[in-house]
Amino acid sequence: MSVIVRVKKDKPHLGCWVFISHKGQRKSICVGDRKSAEEVARLIRRKLALGSFDLKEEEAKPLLGPYFRNWLETHASIHCKESTAAGYETAFRLYIEPALGYKDMREITRADVRELATSLLKAEKSSSYVKATLAPLSAVLNRAIEDGLITTNPALRIFSRSRLEKEKKRVDFLTREELSHLLDVCRRHFPKHYPFVLLLARTGLRLGEAVALQWEDIDFHSRFLEVQRNYVDGRIYTPKSGKGRRVDMSLQLTQTLKELLARWKEETLKKGWKEMPPWVAISEAGTLMNPDNFRKRVWSKLLAKAGLRQIRIQDLRHTFASLLIQQGESLVYVKEQMGHHSIRVTVDIYGHLAPGGNKAAVDRLDDAPDLHPIYTLEHETSLSESAK
């Protein structure tokens, strides 16, 4: 009789296994991380000591860890975007597997899932981040229902609507005057980074989309750029929506990028590079910009120099959308520029910024004056006298 925890040499990517030898029979259970595997081994040893261990019963247990890994390999890696599948794997490895990987899926409760969510919130993760972390767990449990392993999904609707509404209020944006001041400070005190900050402010691109932008994506004549890539965690993926989009460029941005292109052509010759780097945002060494370095070494210092509150780079994207809406542009146009997959996303985030109404439009619904006279106080008085 023995219970051993180790990694299979031919399957190291699957993590730790629990090997059980009992009454001449052997069984191996894939658990994942070592902490979870040791916990499973401890429970099995306890059952063995109490004489309540049944190998056949253990074989029938649908543990979440192995089932989840199989889903990642057979479904997520095939049917999801590469970046999405990578995010699911990270969520599983860092949070889901340590908390629930060794559990029998039939015994996972809403309390278990809520405890996981609460632990992430206590670690100062946002509600949207926790929701994204629980998304693959919910998908896996739905698959388990289809496979007849469980009857309900304990990961559904863990967050109340009120919590999500509070999270939406975190969206921040600069006023037109604040943005103008920020760009002026950037141009004077951080001139090397001015074109990149202006690019974010005038296009609403996500940080990863701006970092992955290439010169070949820009049409200076027609004044637009095409978003075809997204830089996430050190790798280039397709845009978040899974497809590219065309974004209009202002005259100011067009001229600034033309000047930047000319400067990098000069730098290429001066530094003896074989060819000019294809990326719009590059370091002085000609390598792709590191977005984390930009956040830490430039963005925070720029806001402090400008005397503005510490907002996220993402809030430049919100600023772009809010200014377009406040100057009367349609939500449909904003949706197309922002790359939202649905107009509902645009309305949910920015709908409250749209102008309050168009009285001329509703006035045109009225009948012609000769068909339906405008109701006045005098009209009410005449009606009262007629009734008498």
Stronger pLDDT, 99 or 4, i.e. the higher one:
99
If asked whether residues 99 and 113 sit together in one domain, one would say: yes
Which residues, at least 6 apart from 156, have a Cβ–Cβ distance to it below 8 Å?
138
pLDDT at 59 over 70: no
Q: Cβ distance 121 to 133 under 8 Å?
A: no
If asked whether residues 148 and 199 sit together in one domain, one would say: no
The percent of residues in the chain predicted with pLDDT above 90, rounded, is 45
If asked whether residues 211 and 337 sit together in one domain, one would say: yes
Q: Of 171, 207, 214, 181, whose CA–CA distance to 293 is shortest?
A: 207
Arithmetic mean of pLDDT, 219-223: 96
C-alpha pair distances (Å), 18 with each of 4, 28, 29: 6, 6, 5
Arithmetic mean of pLDDT, 128-132: 88
Roughly how many angstroms between the first and final C-alpha of the chain, as a whole number? 105
Answer whether residue 377 is part of any domain: no
pLDDT at 293 over 50: yes
pLDDT at 125 over 70: yes
Answer whether residue 326 is part of any domain: yes
Arithmetic mean of pLDDT, 377-386: 54
Q: Of 92, 119, 103, whose CA–CA distance to 37 is shortest?
A: 103
Q: Cβ distance 282 to 276 under 8 Å?
A: no
If asked whether residues 20 and 125 sit together in one domain, one would say: no
According to DSSP H, which parts of 28-126 are helical?
34-50, 55-60, 64-71, 77-79, 82-91, 97-100, 110-122
If asked whether residues 321 and 180 sit together in one domain, one would say: yes
Arithmetic mean of pLDDT, 342-353: 78
Answer whether residue 369 is part of any domain: no
Stronger pLDDT, 29 or 339, i.e. the higher one:
339
Residue-wise pLDDT tens digits, 85-114: 889 999 999 999 999 988 889 999 999 999
Mean pLDDT over all residues of the chain? 84
d(CA 54, CA 24): 13
Rounded-to-10 torsion of CA 189, 194, 196, 201 = 110
Q: DSSP assignment, residue 17?
A: E
Q: DSSP assignment, residue 9?
A: T
- Here the CATH number for the domain that contains residue 96 is 1.10.150.130
Q: How confident is the model at residue 148 (pLDDT cuts 50, 70, 90)?
A: confident
If asked whether residues 188 and 134 sit together in one domain, one would say: no
Q: Which amino acid is at 110?
A: R
pTM of the predicted model as reported, rounded to 2 decimal places: 0.65
Residue-wise pLDDT tens digits, 172-183: 889 999 999 999
Answer whether residue 292 is part of any domain: yes
pLDDT at 375 over 60: no
d(CA 250, CA 89): 40
* 3-state secondary structure at position 170: coil
Q: Cβ distance 309 to 293 under 8 Å?
A: no
Count of the separate structural domains present in the chain:
3
Q: Cβ distance 212 to 239 under 8 Å?
A: no
Strand partners, 93: none
Q: Cβ distance 63 to 102 under 8 Å?
A: yes
Q: Are strands 25-32 and 245-248 parallel, antiparallel or unpaired?
A: unpaired
If asked whether residues 154 and 184 sit together in one domain, one would say: no
Strand partners, 16: 7, 32
If asked whether residues 24 and 139 sit together in one domain, one would say: no
If asked whether residues 203 and 334 sit together in one domain, one would say: yes
Burial class (CB in 10 A: 0-12, 13-18, 19+), 283: middle
Q: Are strands 16-22 and 2-7 parallel, antiparallel or unpaired?
A: antiparallel
Q: Which amino acid is at 64?
A: L
Residue 212: CB atoms within 10 Å:
27
pLDDT at 164 over 50: no
Q: Cβ distance 62 to 130 under 8 Å?
A: no
Residue 110 structural domain: 65-168
Q: How confident is the model at residue 197 (pLDDT cuts 50, 70, 90)?
A: very high
* Chain position carrying tokens 């996430």: 232
d(CA 331, CA 288): 33
If asked whether residues 184 and 231 sit together in one domain, one would say: yes
